[in-house]
Amino acid sequence: MSITSIKTSIIAILMVALTGCFQVEIDAPDSVEQNAIFEMTATPKKNKGEVSYQWSLNDDLISESVTHYTMLPALGEYTLTVSAVDEEGNEDSQSKTITVVAQPSLNPDFSFGINVSDKAGFAIAEAPVTINGTTVMTDQYGLAQFDGISQTSLMLVSASKEGYLTQTYQYNFDAAQESAVATLALQDLNAVIHTVDSNEAIDIVETELHTKLIVDANSFVDANGNTVTGEIDITITPIDIRAVDNAFLGGAQALTSSGEAVALISTGMADYQFAQNGVAVSLAEGASAVIEMDMVVTTGDDGREFVEGDTIEMWWFDTTTGFWIEDGMGSVELSDTSETGLKLVATVKHFTTWNWDYYKQEDRSSIVFNCLKNGQSLASDESCAITASSETMSRQFVAGSEGVTAINTPPNVTYSVNVNSAADGALWVGSETFTTVSGNNVVTVDMELQQTNTGYIQCRIINEEITSLAPCDAIISSGTITEQLMDTTGANNLRAPFVYVAGDVLDISTTIGGGLFQDLLIDTATVNGTLDLEIIFDVSYDAVGDNLYTFECVDEAGDAVDCNIIWYDQFENIIFEGNISELTDPNSPWTDGKVYIESPESGFGDAWLRGSGYYLGSYGFDINTSTKIIKFVLISQPV
């Protein structure tokens, strides 16, 4: 071959390489405002057939669509990457940096109090709460107080705690306010854990709502993409939409596949979590799973009727943004177990909290909520807490003198609206019921000053023949008054005052040092005179020695270690919660550091120890009915 022919061949090869190289391009903004929805789009070049995509943000997978919408709550720089592959296996990836800048501030010196509770209204302590990237831990009363932060038009609030689903909520503000208070309710996780062999096909049905999971064998990978072998733990949490109330994740706010923020109407919801040795695992790329659950309502909040064969959009909850993200379709099928004769079915490619929901694509409504006090507008430094609830969802708002607006809500939905405002010992409440119509809706609730009474609470310990007053904490809630967090420690004679509205039923949860809990309901309609409550904790254990147990924690080497413990009975009532050292505290109400447990084999619990740079968590426990010891073995887990 001549030199000229060789040169020609090389040029031809180079031309083929240059003209046939598959590429993907990113179209996304260089900078975005904090909590502003933005679009990212991938454009393939010289691809062979269909192209598959994977978007990641700071190495976390966020989407597999050609176009994706999201928002970012924390200031700083983020690396956005798209990886693409065509039908012939040609691959390319591109990255770019996106800078998140601050939203305009409505008030740079804003106070925002976030109360975190479970669905029953009981406070959750030591829960991290994050607002626009700043984190504060809740105190013993479940309060995370943010002072001196910037109030923006959208404030993203997130709260989490082991044993609960992470709740993320978007609070919108139409004007500057001095302060606001809101409550985040957390949905508890199912306490039942299924341990299965990941090398075999998985088919699990939960008793509640017949919630089902079907997965092929060898479908899971670890964080590094390696195939998982051996046993894995599966937690399935069915969520009955008829009773989700204010724990509805995100308040049913959603982001459609076209990037529009809308309000959803739910027909079913369930959460799925998978772990091996306490470390999360996920579905492998290309794998899928079938999920099912009873359809408990066949008529949506807006009157839509569902029958066999109908399809419903699928949504998963994004704890980063507080949005439900549209992702695929589910279907309605016949069921032999559901009380309605119908079930919800879907095929999914990843796991999270999934929702069979829909929204109004054409006729929409918006709602402006306003609060008045005896017909007068709120002052500039006043606000009111608003809860708007339909049959299957509940959403909270905080409104100032300018009100607050909810957009893209479904028409023909009836809401019960309850509002309250508390300041300087005065309580204002109001309520309204209305049905949305297409277009603009204005709902004004006139609050009235409530006549409140003063009650008192104190706690007493009885141990055999010894009786004494003891400091305690209490949470007092009712239908009309905001939740009150009590600590009797500094009160005169350990007797602390609280306020209530005559006729209300008070839900009172009391705790005392050492992890003793007691709940009771008080109907104040039957009260004559002063409501004086003495909560009795009887820790006398005559003739019950066989039911006195000691807790122990050891590390992997078998050495005793400090730990925090929570222990439940078979009905999920908390028997003990606290540090193990509290049991032997001289002021502890527990006799000789022992806890009365009636049926230990029917109970369950957890233990943990967190330190700087490390975390020890329990992997099961051992109950020795001879020595009366419940022992937790703590193993090191990733921080």
pLDDT tier, 14 (very low <50, low <70, confident <90, very high otherwise): very low
Higher pLDDT, 636 or 342: 342
Tell me the CATH number for domain 194-358: 2.60.220
Contact 550, 629 (CB under 8 A): yes
**What is residue 149's three-state secondary structure?**
strand
pLDDT of residue 92: 96
Region 285-307: mean pLDDT is 95
CATH architecture of the domain 365-449 equals Sandwich (2.60)
Judged against a pLDDT cut of 90, whether residue 362 lies above it is answered with no
> How many Å separate Cα 427 from the centre of its chain?
29
Greatest CA separation found in the chain? 114
DSSP conformational letter for 207: S
CATH class of 21-101: mainly beta
Judged against a pLDDT cut of 80, whether residue 409 lies above it is answered with yes
**How many CB atoms within 10 Å of residue 163?**
12
Region 450-472: mean pLDDT is 84
Query: Which H or E element spans position 52?
Result: strand 51-57
Region 84-97: mean pLDDT is 95
Q: List the domain boundaries for the chain.
A: 21-101, 107-186, 194-358, 365-449, 452-538, 547-637
Judged against a pLDDT cut of 90, whether residue 576 lies above it is answered with no
Place of tokens 């029953």: 120
For 334, the token pair is 């016949």
Higher pLDDT, 365 or 228: 228
Higher pLDDT, 34 or 120: 34
Contact 318, 261 (CB under 8 A): no
The phi and psi torsions of 14 (rounded to 5 degrees) equal -65, -40
Give per-residue pLDDT as tens, 490-548.
888 889 999 888 888 898 988 876 557 788 889 998 888 889 999 988 777 544 567 78
pLDDT tier, 589 (very low <50, low <70, confident <90, very high otherwise): low
CATH class of 107-186: mainly beta
Least confident of 1-5, 109-113, 551-555: 1-5
Distance (Å) of CA 255 to CA 5, 76, 86: 59, 23, 28
CATH class of 452-538: mainly beta
Least confident of 138-147, 321-330, 375-384, 536-545: 536-545
Closest to 445 measured CA to CA, from 435, 433, 432, 459: 432
Strand residue runs (E) in 375-491: 376-377, 384-389, 394-399, 404-409, 414-423, 426-435, 439-449, 452-463, 466-470, 472-477, 484-487
pLDDT of residue 427: 82
pLDDT above 90 covers a percentage of the chain that reads 58
pLDDT of residue 244: 78
Region 88-114: mean pLDDT is 95
Give per-residue pLDDT as tens, 560-574.
999 999 888 776 777
Most confident of 344-353, 360-369, 454-463: 344-353
pLDDT tier, 120 (very low <50, low <70, confident <90, very high otherwise): confident
Judged against a pLDDT cut of 50, whether residue 12 lies above it is answered with no
Region 114-128: mean pLDDT is 86
Give per-residue pLDDT as tens, 32-83.
999 999 999 999 999 999 999 999 999 888 888 999 999 998 899 999 999 9
DSSP conformational letter for 580: G
pLDDT tier, 20 (very low <50, low <70, confident <90, very high otherwise): low
Report how far residue 610's alpha carbon sits from residue 615's, in angstroms, rounded to the nearest whole number.
Answer: 5
Higher pLDDT, 566 or 598: 566
Give per-residue pLDDT as tens, 132-189.
889 999 987 788 999 999 999 999 999 999 999 999 999 999 889 998 989 899 999 9
Asked, colleague to colleague, whether 21-101 and 194-358 share their fold, the answer is no
Contact 458, 537 (CB under 8 A): no
Q: In whole numbers, what is the pLDDT of the chain averaged over residues?
A: 88
